[in-house]
Structure 1
Amino acid sequence: MSSLHPYPRLLADIGGTNARFALETAPGIIEDIDVLPCNDYPTLADAMRAYLQRADTRSVSHAAIGIANPVTGDFVQMTNHHWAFSIEATRQQLGFATLLVLNDFTALALALPHLPAAELAQLGGGEARHGAKALIGAGTGLGVSGLLPHGGSWVAIAGEGGHVSFAPVNDEEAAILHYAQGRLGQHVSCERFLSGPGLELIHDALAVADGEAAGQLSAAQISERGLSGRDARCEKVLAHFCAMLGTAAGNLALTLGAVGGVYIGGGIVPRFGDMFARSAFRERFEAKGRFRDYLAAVPVYVIHSAYPALTGVQAALADHLGDYHA
């Protein structure tokens, strides 16, 4: 039996920098993917209208959005962008029967069971066991989620783990944290370092420690220079980033008991390529004293899918609408 709810359906993955849109034209078929810069549009509704006009689609009744923000009620104010909106008012403005909004990493977590092996690069550990899966990813911010088995299905965790307090593990990281506290105040979250702006903050800390000015390079420049091997300080920034991410990912794996694996999403790490595999990430991931052996068995996967969160958004909308097929 076909779905009671019509197609096409609008799917979106909204980050702090880019808004990724697509149409689900039939059950599980995602097409017409387009990426729009968030800064080009005053509001989310404007970006959605622009995409629908570009796609030249017939009327859409059902839509779902994964957004880089906590979603706790009708009103959403983005943390890393100026967009703010009422879910219900936006639904009415666009004439949708359904507008489902969920955290972007909750959506990405829902996609994990559906990602093909060819789009996952394993870094250490053994085979994944049946059990919780952890998800962490750096981009404009730091997303954190998890996936718990429940009966024959999965339940995604909606959390804001990127904003937990950062804890240094050596003197160099303590000095970087001290610099950040001078700029940001006593609480410095993991996201402050494990993100695009975080690369810049780490670079600033190292530059100032060397008696130079802060604010010299963008995150893109730091990554390019560090990966090319032509800038020792940028290489050091990337090394710190990978090590810090290893500690954060190991903490998350222990918290969730993630024997099903730890997945790394976001836009930064997949661009690091072989450098990430050579970094201190895995050593720091496992460096948990008495639980080193526990974590040594946990596989880590870097997600190389182009638009994985859209798959999770599609699954969330189908579940919300109660689709069933024969």
Structure 2
Amino acid sequence: MSATTEELRLLADIGGTNARFALQSHDGQLEHIEVLQCAGHATLGDAMTAYLEGAARRGAAVQSVRRAGIAIANPVEEDLVSMTNHHWSFSISQLRAERELDTLLVVNDFAALAMSLPYLAPSQRTRIGGGLELSGRPIGLIGPGTGLGVSGVIPTGTDWIALAGEGGHVSFAPANREEVAILDMLWNEYGHVSAERLLSGKGLELIHRALSGKQAAAAAITQAALDGSCADARRTVDCFCAVLGSVAGNVALTLGATGGMYIGGGIVPRFGALFAQSTFRQRFEDKGRLGAYLARIPTYLITEQYPALRGVAAMLSRAH
């Protein structure tokens, strides 16, 4: 993953809410990591400028940056990228020219996150439930945040290929009467109801409203569930984790992810012990005749703070 010259490389992981930036030195180390709020900057270019100017004030040789890799929460299929969960829109070629870069790689954020999975150390993940990972097999990934990311990596002998898709927008399928009632409410409001509609920050708020009839912010729901001050909040988090288990099981079946199934994104780590105590793993395995197959697949919560930056660094090295 290390850079091949003495110059610094710019790395970014852009979500719907936060933009994480770092500089990678020639020995592969990430330096000057900073998280900026997307809403605080009119464009991605403005956010890049703000980050680089701040890094320069801290003594970084930002003038040496000639290659950059950006992981972004959006499909990346053509030169024009318009974010689904934020208003930023940009031309890759124009941004490369404006920044005077020799290389600007722009990839889907969950493809970048998936690329980091084969290299995670045991200390950078927490096992949830049983199972035994098989080496050299597909690895699955799902992550609720501002939206719902879905990806995976497929082995190709000595290397890996990351999948870039929009699996978070598959149709939500309820597994019990409570979830049928939630789906019915959301059908009336949105028509098509995707997995992301429930498994996201806004989704946590929608589940809470469907179960309690009350409005509450995602952060407040999570805190009330953690401190035990609100039964409706705890019920909401439990429902969220259960639905996540079902959708993660679907991804694992689709990919044949016998190398393990990983949970990323910004929401689940905030649940703390509630996630391990939830029915996530039970629902992950609850697939009828394929239950025994899924019981053999381990599930992990990613605890590494900036894994997508590591993944996009690997992809930038290969592109170079």
Partner in structure 2 of residue 211 of structure 1: none
- Secondary structure (helix, strand or coil) at the match of 1:276 reads helix
Partner in structure 2 of residue 58 of structure 1: 62
Q: Which amino acid aligns with 1:116?
A: A
Q: Which amino acid aligns with 1:174?
A: V
Find the partner of 2:175 among 169, 178, 187: 169
- How far off its partner does 1:35 sit? 0.3
- Secondary structure (helix, strand or coil) at the match of 2:123 reads helix
Q: 1:214-253: per-residue Cα shift (whole Å, max 9, x none)?
A: 5x21110011111111101111110110000000000010
CA contact (8 A) 1:111 1:308 kept: yes
CA contact (8 A) 1:6 1:61 kept: no
1:109 maps onto 2:114 in alignment: yes
1:156 maps onto 2:162 in alignment: yes
C-alpha root-mean-square deviation of aligned residues, in Å? Answer: 1.2
Partner in structure 2 of residue 35 of structure 1: 35
1:117 and 1:219, CA in 2 relative to 1: closer, same or farther beyond 3 A?
Answer: same
Q: 1:79-107: per-residue Cα shift (whole Å, max 9, x none)?
A: 11010111111111111111100000000
- How far off its partner does 1:126 sit? 2.4
- How far off its partner does 1:125 sit? 2.3
1:141 maps onto 2:147 in alignment: yes
Once the two structures are superposed, the pairs formed by residues 244-323 of structure 1 within 5 Å of their partners are: 244-321=243-320
What stretches of structure 1 move > 4 A for 4+ residues in a row?
Answer: 2-6
CA contact (8 A) 1:132 1:256 kept: yes
1:164 and 1:26, CA in 2 relative to 1: closer, same or farther beyond 3 A?
Answer: same
Partner in structure 1 of residue 222 of structure 2: 223
What TM-score do you get using the length of structure 1 for normalisation? 0.94
Once the two structures are superposed, the pairs formed by residues 66-81 of structure 1 within 5 Å of their partners are: 66-81=71-86
- Secondary structure (helix, strand or coil) at the match of 1:26 reads coil
Aligned length: 313
What TM-score do you get using the length of structure 2 for normalisation? 0.96
- How far off its partner does 1:5 sit? 4.8
Q: Distance in 2 between matches of 1:18 and 1:136?
A: 18
Q: 1:152-204: per-residue Cα shift (whole Å, max 9, x none)?
A: 1111111110000000011110100111111111x110001001110011111
- How far off its partner does 1:304 sit? 0.5
Q: 1:292-319: per-residue Cα shift (whole Å, max 9, x none)?
A: 1111110000000111100001000000
CA contact (8 A) 2:248 2:261 kept: yes
Q: Which amino acid aligns with 1:298?
A: I
Q: Distance in 2 between matches of 1:138 and 1:10?
A: 26
**Identical-residue share of aligned pairs (%):** 56
What runs of 5+ residues in structure 1 fail to find an aligned partner? 209-213, 322-326
